[in-house]
Amino acid sequence: MRECYFVVDGGVPLSGVISVGGAKNAVLVELCSLLLFPGRHCLHNVPKLADVTALIELFEELGCSCCWLENGTSLTVDTTQSCLRPLSASVLQSFRASILLLGPLLARFGMAEISYPGGCPIGARPIDFHLKAFERMGAIVEVHGDLLRVIAKKGLHAARLVFEYPSVGATENVLLAAVLTRGTTTIVNAALEPEVLDLIQLLRSMGAVIDLNVPATISVTGALPLRAVEHTVLPDRLEAGTYLAAAAMTGGQIEISNIDPELLDVFLMKLDEMGHTVTLPASGGVVLTGTLSARAVSFITMPYPGFPTDLQAIMSALQICSVGTSKIHESVFENRLVHLGEFQKMGATLSVAGDRTCITGVDRSLLRGAALHGVDIRGAAGLVIAALGVADRSSITGIQHLRRGYDRFEERLQYLGARIQLVEQD
């Protein structure tokens, strides 16, 4: 098997104007939603990610026809011939979002059978919330080794569901199932991430009736006539945050032309607190001018609109050469601090206690290049950002994780002036 890794020669300020692609955390669930109605659908602004490719493979196993249009970012999905079929276990286990097939398959066909999903090893991320919700809606859950079977032969029924934690995946899975379930299903303490709201916009365009209520409650009136849908996936706030952080780390200046800054409120606030200059042009987007004498900031990850867990590793990278001490609490995923050990290889000064870390910034001249290894999407991105800020050469393996979350990652960084190269060897 051919091994791929990045070689990064850091210390070069990034500059330029770029746009980001469609949100990974929206496009996967929105593709799953197309199974709700047999017809020819079209999604625009679809990023070519490894997870998208895997989901398309599963769709084809279900009898769907998927076709990329000439522009390379629009995807037509014809679900007319879709039906229940055995799905490839290896593909199901390659990414977490495969769990989102349960809702539409269960609601439409009365049964869904998948292997336990995989993805990044960033924490337990139990699927209990999904399964308990389906049981409350009348389904029977069977577990046979790695095989998960959910059955509702007489159909699901509407229910009032209270989540003890605002799980994004469970909220989305219940939404998909509830659209085809007669009656009104209510989700209390629902996740309201921008990607969930974008899914709701798609489902409403398909004909679903969905209401949002305070506090954090979603009501779905199900079993109404649906239609094929055409929808544009919202831009990826996490991709935007990654490139903004890359510019901040290198003391550069970049503009993300197509991102709504309100989706990054807390993240942009922290960049501003560090001393980086954040500007919001009247035409939209975000401009960041970085400083090489940034101040350390502390933060805690939380569900939206709090600081995103998916930007924790990216923001942590900025702290290793900032002035002062940063205290970081990762409250969402318990195993999402693995990248910190890699920062130490570069000379970073930090300590870890459970789900918390303290990073005391050192002068960047004392940091050095190192052989680094990423084990999840955002952790690997954080390693690249750290390497970009050090005037030395680093190598980064585990980049297959980046392919799951970023489209043409190194090409976009090269466009901004980064000295990063993909190396392939047998």
Burial class (CB in 10 A: 0-12, 13-18, 19+), 374: buried
Residues in the chain: 426
The answer for residues whose C-beta is within 8 angstroms of residue 156's C-beta and 6 or more apart is 106, 107, 134, 137, 138, 139, 177, 178, 180, 181
Question: Could you tell me which of 85, 86, 67 has the C-alpha nearest to residue 77?
Answer: 67
Backbone phi, psi, residue 241, to 5°: -60, -35
Question: Could you tell me which of 8, 104, 91, 100 has the C-alpha nearest to residue 56?
Answer: 91
Q: Does 120 qualify as catalytic in the annotation?
A: yes
3-state secondary structure of 13: coil
HSE (side-chain half, CA atoms, 13 Å) at 195: 22
Burial class (CB in 10 A: 0-12, 13-18, 19+), 311: buried
End-to-end CA distance of the chain: 6
* Catalytic position from the list 32, 42, 64, 120: 120
Calpha distance 207→222 (Å, rounded)? 10
Question: Could you tell me which of 1, 78, 7 has the C-alpha nearest to residue 41?
Answer: 78
List residues with catalytic annotation. Answer: 120
